[in-house]
């Protein structure tokens, strides 16, 4: 395979650029800082693949030409081993032949010839009709229904052609220069491409040479029309055009620690760099300043990192109130739980132990416990930043224990005002009458869907079973249970 050109943006850019550069990838359209840190030569080669932050910054998105994108994804998985990943089950903007199997309210359900996957096309067709469709939205696990379109999209280096939009010209959001837009519109008019195609100029057009851009438009138009010519002979389920690779890597705290160490090989990096920057805009300038000092005094990296961590803990305590951000591995969406207030923090070596009080205002039911929740009831939430669980002790407003809910999750990350963790779906609940494991099937589903690797799921279940034993042994005195009692799970030899 030829050299793969990768554009990398966001808070993980330095570390990921280092990993990919060392593996022989070309870092395309690099920022000034990345070029300086990796001693890269100036290059304006259009990228085959883009790696950028997720919206919630808890990981990265990898998108680009199918084979090249897959190679970048596999390299990063092998090098940093994130336990939670998502890959679109069908190529993004892949073109596939299906058959209409159901029609209702102007919507056609299309059998794509792939076991367990159908698609939805917002067009009323006849049942039994074969139809060529574009996968217009990534089909990320655990979803099983693809969103389809007949506005097929074919990607070039600088341009995307959109079928059914003849005469229309669109621009990437990253193209903002009015002069460049005018020039690209002129090229679009002069080239007069054959067929019912609209033109969308990609962000790479801002770095391309005129002859390269025109050549790419011409070549992409020829390729797009060649794809159209294959429609009639295609078989049901055949992927006529592979479109783009679309994958997500979700970064938990130990992965961020790994990226900290990678980054530190080419630039001064405080411990916790990626945690601070992924969770807090307010800490960004402070982190940059601390690293500027390390640049001058590299021998003080450990001391500066520890001092920064103490400062952050102090600010967490000072702020008091914390939002709790819970990311489910089955949805990769941030869910905000009832916020709380810091009761206590203890810091020793690299571990911080928190106690947080959350007071509930509305009536309801405590999930998993099937116990009534009343206004004034509260939760004492205990966790360590070192271990993958959170202990919730639910009390009535007069202080009587109602039950225990033990959440199994990635080690929580904390900055002033925010706690965030990735939820592994499986939990343990306990009352004085019983202890039981909840939602084991949801963790198994995440394994079956390829979201989490089986070895990691086995470790999670082992932790869950050990926690269950501890809760059973303390069933008659659950109110005495502390996070410290659960640490013994991790001291046992596997």
DSSP alpha helix (H) spans, 230-283: 253-264, 273-279
> Quick one: which H or E segment has residue 494?
none
User: Which pLDDT score, from 0 to 100, does residue 44 have?
Assistant: 81
CA 172 – CA 149 distance, rounded (Å): 20
Q: In a 3-state reduction of DSSP, which class is residue 326? A: strand
CA angle, residues 174, 177, 183, in degrees to nearest 5: 110
Of 446, 448, 435, residue with least CA distance to 477: 435
DSSP string, 7-60: EE-STTHHHHHHHHHHTT-EETT--HHHHHHHTPPP--PPPSEEEEE-TTSSEE
Joined together, the tokens standing for residue 306 give 């520890």
**Burial tier of 31 (Cβ tally within 10 Å: 0-12, 13-18, 19+):** middle
Pairing of strands 84-87, 244-250: antiparallel
Joined together, the tokens standing for residue 323 give 């939002």
> Quick one: which H or E segment has residue 194?
none
User: Which pLDDT score, from 0 to 100, does residue 1 have?
Assistant: 58
User: Which pLDDT score, from 0 to 100, does residue 494 have?
Assistant: 45
Of 238, 205, 91, 235, residue with least CA distance to 153: 91
CA angle, residues 266, 269, 272, in degrees to nearest 5: 140
CA 419 – CA 127 distance, rounded (Å): 50
Burial annotation 284-316 (CB, 10 A radius, 16+ → b, else e): eebbeebbeebeeeeeebeebbeebbeebbebb
Residue 281 neighbours by CB under 8 Å, 6+ apart: none
In this structure, which long-range contacts are made by residues 371-379, counting pairs with CB atoms below 8 Å and at least 24 apart in sequence? 371/402, 371/403, 371/431, 377/402, 379/338, 379/340
Q: Give the CA distances from residue 328 to residues 447, 461, 472, in Å, rounded to whole numbers and listed in that order.
A: 14, 17, 27
Q: Give the CA distances from residue 394 to residues 358, 372, 468, in Å, rounded to whole numbers and listed in that order.
A: 9, 11, 17
Phi/psi at 357 (nearest 5 deg)?
-110, 125
CA 58 – CA 327 distance, rounded (Å): 9
Asked if 290 and 276 count as a contact pair (C-beta separation under 8 A), the reply is no
User: Which pLDDT score, from 0 to 100, does residue 82 have?
Assistant: 84
Joined together, the tokens standing for residue 381 give 């939430």
Joined together, the tokens standing for residue 87 give 């890959």
HSE value, Cβ hemisphere, 13 Å, CA-based, for 456: 20
Q: What is the mean pLDDT of each run of 10 residues along the chain (494 residues)?
A: 91 97 94 93 90 96 98 97 94 97 95 92 96 97 96 97 96 95 94 93 93 96 96 95 97 96 96 96 95 94 94 95 96 93 91 96 91 95 97 95 96 96 96 93 96 95 96 91 92 59
CA 32 – CA 49 distance, rounded (Å): 19
CA 465 – CA 355 distance, rounded (Å): 24
For the chain, the 3-state helix, strand and coil shares in percent, each to the nearest 5, are 35, 35, 35
Joined together, the tokens standing for residue 42 give 């100036």
User: Which pLDDT score, from 0 to 100, does residue 339 have?
Assistant: 96
């Amino acid at each position: 395979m030829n050299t793969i050109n990768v554009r990398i943006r966001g808070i993980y850019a330095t570390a990921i650029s280092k990993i990919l550069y060392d593996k022989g990838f070309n870092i395309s359209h690099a920022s000034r800082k990345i070029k300086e840190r990796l001693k890269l030569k100036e290059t304006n080669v259009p990228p085959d693949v883009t790696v950028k932050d997720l919206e919630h910054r808890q990981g990265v998105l990898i998108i680009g030409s199918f084979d090249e994108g897959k190679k970048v994804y596999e390299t990063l998985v092998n090098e940093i081993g994130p336990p939670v990943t998502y890959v679109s089950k069908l190529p993004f903007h892949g073109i596939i032949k299906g058959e209409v199997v159901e029609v209702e309210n102007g919507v056609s359900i299309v059998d794509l010839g792939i076991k367990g996957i159908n698609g939805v096309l917002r067009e009323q067709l006849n049942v039994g009709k074969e139809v060529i469709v574009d996968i217009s939205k990534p089909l990320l696990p655990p979803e099983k229904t693809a969103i389809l379109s007949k506005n097929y999209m074919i990607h070039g280096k600088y341009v995307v052609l959109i079928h059914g939009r003849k005469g229309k010209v669109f621009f990437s959001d990253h193209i903002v220069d009015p002069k460049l837009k005018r020039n690209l519109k002129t090229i679009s008019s002069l080239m007069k491409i054959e067929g019912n195609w609209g033109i969308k100029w990609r962000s790479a057009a801002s770095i391309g040479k005129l002859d390269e851009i025109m050549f790419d438009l011409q070549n992409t138009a020829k390729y797009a029309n060649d794809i159209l010519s294959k429609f009639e002979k295609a078989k049901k389920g055949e992927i006529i055009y592979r479109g783009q690779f679309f994958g997500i890597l979700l970064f938990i705290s130990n992965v961020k620690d790994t990226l900290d160490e990678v980054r530190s090989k080419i630039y001064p990096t405080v411990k916790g760099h990626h945690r601070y920057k992924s969770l807090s805009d307010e800490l960004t300038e402070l982190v940059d300043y601390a690293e500027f000092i390390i640049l001058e005094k590299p021998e003080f990296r450990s001391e500066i990192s520890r001092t920064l961590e103490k400062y952050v803990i102090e600010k967490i305590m000072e702020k008091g109130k914390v939002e709790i951000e819970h990311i489910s591995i089955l949805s990769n969406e941030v869910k905000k739980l009832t916020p709380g207030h810091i009761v206590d923090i203890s810091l020793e070596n690299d571990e911080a132990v928190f106690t947080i009080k959350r007071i509930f205002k509305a009536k309801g039911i405590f999930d998993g416990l099937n116990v009534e929740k009343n206004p004034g009831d509260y939760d004492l939430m205990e966790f360590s930043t070192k271990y993958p669980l959170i202990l919730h002790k639910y009390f009535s407003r007069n202080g009587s224990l109602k039950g225990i809910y033990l959440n199994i999750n990635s080690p929580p990350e904390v900055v002033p005002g925010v706690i965030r963790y990735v939820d592994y779906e499986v939990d343990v609940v306990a009352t004085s009458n019983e202890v039981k494991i909840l939602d084991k099937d949801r963790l198994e589903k995440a394994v079956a869907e390829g979201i989490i690797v089986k070895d990691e799921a086995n470790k999670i279940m082992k932790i869950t079973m050990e926690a269950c034993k501890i809760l059973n042994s303390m069933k008659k005195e659950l109110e005495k249970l502390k996070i410290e009692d659960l640490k013994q799970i991790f001291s046992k030899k596997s």
